[in-house]
């Protein structure tokens, strides 16, 4: 049995290899995970983290989490009802409601009946996805940070590095992008980078001289970022002992990997709260909408929160483009790669990279977890 941590609840006894590194020294025996009190929508620690990072009171945070949970179901229903007229959707924190874009005014009444607000737009989500897919076939210069479909502007947003805005290759890429559909250009101060780090202390897992963070437990191992290691690479745990092996890895193009674990390690449906909040149970992987609050756990900057900014974004790292990423306002730093993104108790994805840090701020992308599960035929370990 490997390391456990003095957690706040009985699920401590099982926490060995779960999300973002194992915890601190101590000996414990396996025990069933208890069900948390159903009446508590969120722990005090989670609410405090949302207060710190999103500027919310505890009551506002609870109200937002409840509204976001409802918005997930409304989004599914609205997408079905509107069909080809669906133009995308996003959660509006100011109103606590989902906004659904539609290309046909006749669809607005039915969407409103579901409990959502509407916006009439010119381009359908399918048309924007096709425009974005055309960009995915182009070679992007280093001065182009990425691109994604933005339902709010009803366009494909192309992020360019401010210092490279006038570079001929960047201008040529933007021109070609505009020729393929509606495009909005946004300037960024820095290019994206991955968040792997050299071997340092903390609660990591290691492969070679790289430190990364565990994402989510699956039966037989865990998922993490692909840039952290190649298939066949050995993984060491927090104490340097043999922990597992990368069974599959993809980067660039994708940024995901699956690590199988050795005897002596096991998995539990928990993500570390790092003392900021109680360790969190994972109960599923329902996808949160754009605008929803989201939190991240990583072995360097621990527990951080923000909002979902965009989905299906192509991120142009120096190593190559990565597709179908989700962008957030959550900060991260070196060593956080591979770590968990959660919305409430629902797994969202594993940390890939971003720009900035947790002192000055920035943005971070994650690889959606459901794509990883489907790619490797894995089953998420849930409570």
Predicted confidence at residue 239, as pLDDT, reads 74
Q: Read off the pLDDT of residues 300-356 as tens digits, 9 standing for 90 and up.
A: 999 999 999 999 999 999 999 999 999 999 999 999 999 999 999 999 999 999 999
Angle between helices 44-54 and 58-82 (to 10 degrees): 80
Whether the pLDDT of residue 19 is over 80: the answer is no
Compute the distance between CA of residue 61 and CA of residue 54 in angstroms, rounded to an integer. Answer: 9
The pLDDT-based confidence of 41 (bands split at 50, 70, 90) is low
Is residue 255 among the annotated active site residues? yes
pLDDT tens for 142-200 read 999 999 999 999 999 999 999 999 999 999 999 999 998 999 999 998 899 987 654 33
Which pLDDT belongs to residue 268?
Answer: 85
* pLDDT of 22 above 90: no
Mean pLDDT of the chain: 86
- Whole-angstrom CA distances from 353 to 14, 21, 180, 197, 328 are 29, 18, 28, 12, 11
Q: Can you give the pLDDT at residue 278?
A: 84
Exposure string for 245-262, b = 16+ CB within 10 A, e = fewer: bbebbbbbebbbbbbbbb
Q: Which of 92, 124, 217, 227 is catalytic?
A: 227
Q: Which pLDDT belongs to residue 237?
A: 84
Residue with tokens 């997408």: 79
Question: Distances in Å between the alpha carbon of 110 and those of 33, 70, 134, 328?
Answer: 42, 17, 32, 30
DSSP letter string over 153-170? TTEEEEEEEGGGTT-HHH
Report how far residue 230's alpha carbon sits from residue 234's, in angstroms, rounded to the nearest whole number: 9
| Catalytic one of 150, 203, 255, 345 | 255
Q: What is the pLDDT of residue 13?
A: 26
pTM listed for this prediction: 0.77
Active-site annotation holder among 217, 250, 285, 337: 337
């Amino acid at each position: 049995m490997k390391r456990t941590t003095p957690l706040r609840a009985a699920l401590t006894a099982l926490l060995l290899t779960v999300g973002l590194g194992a915890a601190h020294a101590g000996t414990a025996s396996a025990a069933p995970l208890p069900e948390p009190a159903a009446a508590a929508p969120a722990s005090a620690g989670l609410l405090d983290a949302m207060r710190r990072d999103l500027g919310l009171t505890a009551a506002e945070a609870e109200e937002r989490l409840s509204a976001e949970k409802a918005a997930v179901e409304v989004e599914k229903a609205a997408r079905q009802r509107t069909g080809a007229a669906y133009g995308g959707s996003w959660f509006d924190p100011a109103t606590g409601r989902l906004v659904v874009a539609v290309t046909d005014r006749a669809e607005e009444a039915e969407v409103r009946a579901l409990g959502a607000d509407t916006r009439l737009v010119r381009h359908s989500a399918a048309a924007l996805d096709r425009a974005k897919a055309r960009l995915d076939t182009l070679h992007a210069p280093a001065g182009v940070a990425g691109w994604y479909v933005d339902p709010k502007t009803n366009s494909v947003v192309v992020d360019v590095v401010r210092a490279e805005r006038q570079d001929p290759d960047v201008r040529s890429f933007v021109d070609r992008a505009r020729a393929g559909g509606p495009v909005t250009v946004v300037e960024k101060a820095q290019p994206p980078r991955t968040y792997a780090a050299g071997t340092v202390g903390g609660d990591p897992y290691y492969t070679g001289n790289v430190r990364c963070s565990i994402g989510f437990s699956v039966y037989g191992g865990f998922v993490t970022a692909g840039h952290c290691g190649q298939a066949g690479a050995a993984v060491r745990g927090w104490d340097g002992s043999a922990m597992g092996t990368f069974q599959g890895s993809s980067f660039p193009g994708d940024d995901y990997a699956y690590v199988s674990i050795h005897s002596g390690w096991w998995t539990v449906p928990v993500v570390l709260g790092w003392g900021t909040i109680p360790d969190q149970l994972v109960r599923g992987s329902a996808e949160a909408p754009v605008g929803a609050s989201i939190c991240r756990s990583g072995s360097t900057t621990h527990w951080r929160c923000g909002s979902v900014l965009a989905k299906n974004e192509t991120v142009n790292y120096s190593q190559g483009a990565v597709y179908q990423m989700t962008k957030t306002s959550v900060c991260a730093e070196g060593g956080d790669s591979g770590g968990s993104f959660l919305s409430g108790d629902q797994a969202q994805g594993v940390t890939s990279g971003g720009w900035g840090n947790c002192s000055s701020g920035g943005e971070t992308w994650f690889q959606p977890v459901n794509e990883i599960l489907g790619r490797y035929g894995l089953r998420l370990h849930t409570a």
